[in-house]
Amino acid sequence: MEISSLYDRDKETGSIISGNTGTKVKRIKLIGVGGTIVSRQSENGFVPDMTPKELISMIPELEGYCEIIFEEVMNTDSSNLQPEDWSFILPVIVNALNDKEVDGIVVIHGTDTMTFTASATAIFVRNINKPIVFTGSQIPWEVFGSDARRNIIDAFRIATETDIIEPVIVFNSRVYRATRTVKLREYDLSAFESVDNFPVAEISRTIDMVDPFVKLRSEQTENAYVDGEISASVALLRVFPGMDPMIFEHIVKGGYKGIIVEGYGAGNLPIKERSLLDKIKSIVDRGIPVVITTQCVFGRTEALYETNNIFVQKGAINGKDMISETALIKLIWALGKGKTLGEIKEKMYTNLAGEIKEFIN
């Protein structure tokens, strides 16, 4: 990409420098995954069709602000993303983290599964030493009123101007911790919300840090790496009135090694008509972990009622304040780290990236 006349390259290092200040312009790795933000209208609806370079070429504000290095991993609707795709995306992020010429990372991604990919980055990647910013849009670039330009500029500001070193989602002028974020709205430009946690920061004329516990850049010298094997080994099941308990047997027969169960309220499950107790106990007795989370957007699972406590007594794991999307990723990771149910529970309760409150035992 061309740099404006205010910016030149250092003859020895090749780094871009500002003609006005003499300071180095930061290099940002832009990783393309796809999504609404790069979609165009087709006869079947919107489909990802634009490359990251095409997208950035239409944002002249970024010219000279930073040097952009492009890498397109895939270009797909995020509804098509599978755990196997994270195995391709995460190594690209790790390579950028370990590249000393890269100062920050922006990932263009569809909104439908952005929280899953961002959480997978937070849970599986170790020694993060620079900003990793996920963004996308609710409205395709080519549609009048698109939020794409604003979100991209905000994402580059966070990657360039801050020292945040944990995966975040930037959307509608807010910065969210990956492991504490859910998509709540399909049409509203404010698609995401932070669950039981402050946003990390708010973006306006300035970038205002809101969360005092955000991880910031330090003298990290160890190389980043993917810690564990990503697989499609965990199922996520939402409890509903009339659920046949046999559904758990079908899930196990399908080859899943762990189950996240979204209960009512504080993680409550039926124990009378169509009781789930016997089936969950049977599965746990076979060494398959069952983690109970809540269907409520805000709140946590607690052994307040018999309809939760009795399942915990039979070996189920309370998900505490983990949101279901993150609990699924966390259990995939924990299955590769623990052999016994006790070891897996210990891993689930180990705070890796702000996904669970550290005071919870």
Rounded-to-integer distance, Cα 296 and Cα 313, Å: 23
Residue 36 appears among annotated catalytic residues: yes
- For 256, residues 6+ apart whose C-beta sits below 8 A from its C-beta are 233, 234, 235, 288
Q: Three-class SS of residue 36?
A: helix
Catalytic one among 13, 36, 115, 206? 36
Looking at residue 336, the DSSP 8-state letter turns out to be T
Instruction: Give residue for tokens 């805000």.
Output: 298
Which H helix or E strand runs over 30? strand 27-34
First to last CA, the chain: 51
Looking at residue 244, the DSSP 8-state letter turns out to be -
Rounded-to-integer distance, Cα 203 and Cα 198, Å: 14
- For 97, residues 6+ apart whose C-beta sits below 8 A from its C-beta are 105, 125, 127, 128, 129, 130, 132, 223, 224
The residues that are catalytic are: 36
